[in-house]
Amino acid sequence: MGGHLGIRVTLTDALNESGERVIRNLMQQIGARVETWAALLTRHHASQLTRLNEASGAAVRVGPTMTALLSWSADAWEATGGLVNIAMLDERLAAETGTPTRGQAMSRDWRLELTHWRHEDHAHLRGGLLHRPEGLHFDLDGVGKGWIADRAAALLARILDSKVRAGEIPEWSSCFVDGDGDIAIQNRGGAETEVRIEIPRASESTIGAIRVSGASAGIATSGTGVHHWGGRHHIIDPQTGAPADSGIAQATVVAESAREAEAWAKSIVIGGAALIRRAEAAGVRRIVAVQTNGKIISAPALEPLNARNQYTPRSALEGDVATTDATVSAI
């Protein structure tokens, strides 16, 4: 789906030569699985997504991977009050070219019927039937990255546990999968993963660091500066059908999963500071948002953040509207 992939495993003891081969092969295995999932969901070449977008008729059958992601997208739409809207591909392409958009798109004009098959006492997802107005096109880029990172990190943790039980590697304390900035984290035995928040286009790139604890977590950043064209950017506000202009240049969110963190980070950039309180009420762990004037907002407000209080966007130094974008990196 574009972007970079990072995989890291932290072990409690040093590896021998055999253990290094095991870890190297494991990382290759996870990377291949991520590529397979991404190939199903990308809009940049022939995929399940492009076939869905090109399909005629109001009802389209979709496979289990697409069904699972569409189901999560419906949940994200509901949680964020419609700000996470995957049916905004035409608006994003219009932003790239500067052409007019169709306007407001706050309603969810599609629904999904799930189908299952049963094996013993377990129900397994078989696929689904998608109902949508003909000509409605989907863009799964941001939603898909967090969802894939979560699945890959969970798979990585399960395989690591099996290799430990088999005596092939020592115990592990943490691991993560970074899907182009959407990071799914797994910790063991009370370990923590330190995450550094950076703004590459700022005069001083690092604005702070957060320690992420808990067995599973996710962190994601959404911003307006990576993809932009003549003052327009790729984060579309469904309330207007145009690029968001909320006063928030980027937001970093720590949540229970990478897909939740991605959904809320994007929502805060679209909806502005008011969405920070909504995200807190939904149970996110941490929010660091940067306004277009450079001011940093941190929530919960009383939780310590090793950060500067303000930075100066490079574009502001140049006399332009701030179009910065934060990234996160685990160290």
Q: Give residue limits of the domains in the chain.
A: 44-139, 192-330
Reported as half-sphere exposure (CB side, CA atoms, 13 A), residue 313 has a value of 23
* pLDDT tops 60 at residue 318: no
* pLDDT tops 90 at residue 175: yes
Secondary structure, 3-state, the chain: CCCCEEEEEEECCCCCHHHHHHHHHHHHHHHHHHHHHHHHHCCCCCCHHHHHHHCCCCEEEECHHHHHHHHHHHHHHHHCCCCCCCCCHHHHHHHHHCCCCCCCCCCCCCEEEEEEEEECCEEEEEEEEEECCCCCCCCCHHHHHHHHHHHHHHHHHHHHHHHHHCCCCCCEEEEEEEECCEEEEEECCCCCEEEEEECCCECCCEEEEEEECCCEEEEEEEECCCCEECCEECCEECCCCEECCCCEEEEEEEECCHHHHHHHHHHHHHHCCHHHHHHHHCCCCEEEEEECCCEEEEECCCCCCEECCECCEHHHHCCCCCCCCCEEEEC
Q: Output 98 or 272, whichever has higher pLDDT.
A: 272
* pLDDT tops 80 at residue 197: yes
Residue 48: the pLDDT is 94
Whether CATH 3.10.520.10 fits 192-330: yes
Q: How far apart are CA 259 and CA 151, in angstroms?
A: 10
Q: How far apart are CA 197 and CA 7, in angstroms?
A: 18
The chain-wide mean pLDDT, for the chain, equals 83
Residue 120: the pLDDT is 73
What percent of the chain is modeled with pLDDT above 70?
81
Is residue 92 within 8 Å of 242, Cβ to Cβ? no
Q: Output 125 or 150, whichever has higher pLDDT.
A: 150
Tokens 């910790």 locate to 187
Is residue 108 within 8 Å of 86, Cβ to Cβ? no
* Average pLDDT of the residues in 98-127: 76
CA distances from 143 to 104, 183, 236, 246, 253 (A): 20, 13, 14, 20, 14
Lowest average pLDDT, out of 111-115, 136-140, 192-196, 206-210, goes to 206-210
Is residue 146 within 8 Å of 220, Cβ to Cβ? yes
Lowest average pLDDT, out of 26-30, 128-132, 178-182, 240-244, goes to 240-244
* Average pLDDT of the residues in 111-115: 91
* Residue-wise pLDDT tens digits, 208-257: 788 899 999 999 998 875 655 555 557 888 888 878 888 898 899 999 99
Token pair recorded at residue 312: 């100066």
